[in-house]
Amino acid sequence: MYFFRRTLFLIPLLLVISMVAFTLVRMAPGGPFDKERAPASPEIERNLKAKYHLDKPLPVQYAIWLGGVLRGDFGPSLKYRSHNVTDIIASGLPITLVLGGLAFAFALGVGIPLGFITAVKKGHWEDHVGGTLAILGICIPALVVGPILVMFFGVRWKLFPVALIGTPMHLVLPTVTLGLFFAGRVARLMREGMLGVLDAEFITAARSKGVPERDILLRHAFRTAVLPVVSYGGPLLADLMIGSFVVEQLFRIPGIGVFLVSSSLNRDYTMLVSLVLLYAVVLLVANLLVDFAYGLLDPRVKLA
């Protein structure tokens, strides 16, 4: 029942998000036809606005766009006029989702064990080395990590291809570039969570009862310590999709990240609002999954 109510709540929330995005985009200075190669005559500009319903009041424009969205049609792109927004999203979204999913798995697969080890080995060399690696991952941006990986692993040692998408090997360097920062964040969250749990009373009680240390760490401490990482998982997915723009540019990956920025610069209203709505759906669904994972990991949480 809880998840049914949450799912129903997503509908009005997405309507509000789309309405606000639609309004703010229209209020921004400039228009989609300002950067034409030749200045359009007033008559041509009127015809263009009439073709794309830009001559109608804002509520009417929103109603027309929303009606198309409900039918699965996000409308025509105002910049790439020979393409439909739906077609552009359909071609680029799977690539962005694959890249984001792999980077998400990389961030969790590296960050959780690293944070776990540094907490368990607090004060030892494992803690110092792991903490340094986590800080480096957080501090060095993708714009720096990407070219370094390309220079060594792609150009000098020729271990991985460096551009486009052809084989699974093409995704290795982009995945590491995109996921390294988030792996450092996850490692820090996991370490802090473990350090807090290891000092808890139920851990002390388990040790006094003679429970093996391995069971204490993996069966008792880990389930509670990983909860901050689970909470971060929802925003993490959205951050990965938005952050993929830089990586897609670096590695010439044909995802949808490039369209988010280009549509903002070119005032491509339909493309920009559709991508904002898409990212909102990803974030809200991810947060819903986080709540579900919380209920599984923490018996104190009751979802009614």
Model pLDDT for residues 13-38, shown as the tens digit of each residue: 999 999 999 998 888 777 676 665 55
Would the pLDDT of 91 be above 90?
no
Q: What is the DSSP string of 209-254?
A: TT--HHHIIIIIIHHHHTHHHHHHHHHHHHHHHHHHHHHHHHTT--
Name the least confident of 28-42, 63-77, 144-158, 224-238.
28-42
pLDDT of residue 301: 58
Q: Report d(CA 149, CA 147) in Å as an integer.
A: 5
pLDDT of residue 3: 67
pLDDT of residue 240: 81
Fold designation for 85-297: MetI-like fold (1.10.3720)
Would the pLDDT of 147 be above 80?
yes
pLDDT of residue 188: 94
Are the beta carbons of 182 and 111 closer than 8 angstroms?
yes
**Between 9 and 148, residue with greater pLDDT:** 148
> Can you give the C-alpha Rg of the chain in angstroms?
24
pLDDT of residue 180: 93
Burial class (CB in 10 A: 0-12, 13-18, 19+), 129: middle
Strand partners, 76: 84
**Cβ-based neighbours of 9, under 8 Å, separated by 6 or more:** none
Burial class (CB in 10 A: 0-12, 13-18, 19+), 127: middle
Q: Tell me the pTM.
A: 0.84
**Between 186 and 25, residue with greater pLDDT:** 186
Mean pLDDT across 193-203 = 88
- The full set of domain ranges for the chain reads 85-297
Average pLDDT, the chain: 84
Would the pLDDT of 41 be above 70?
no
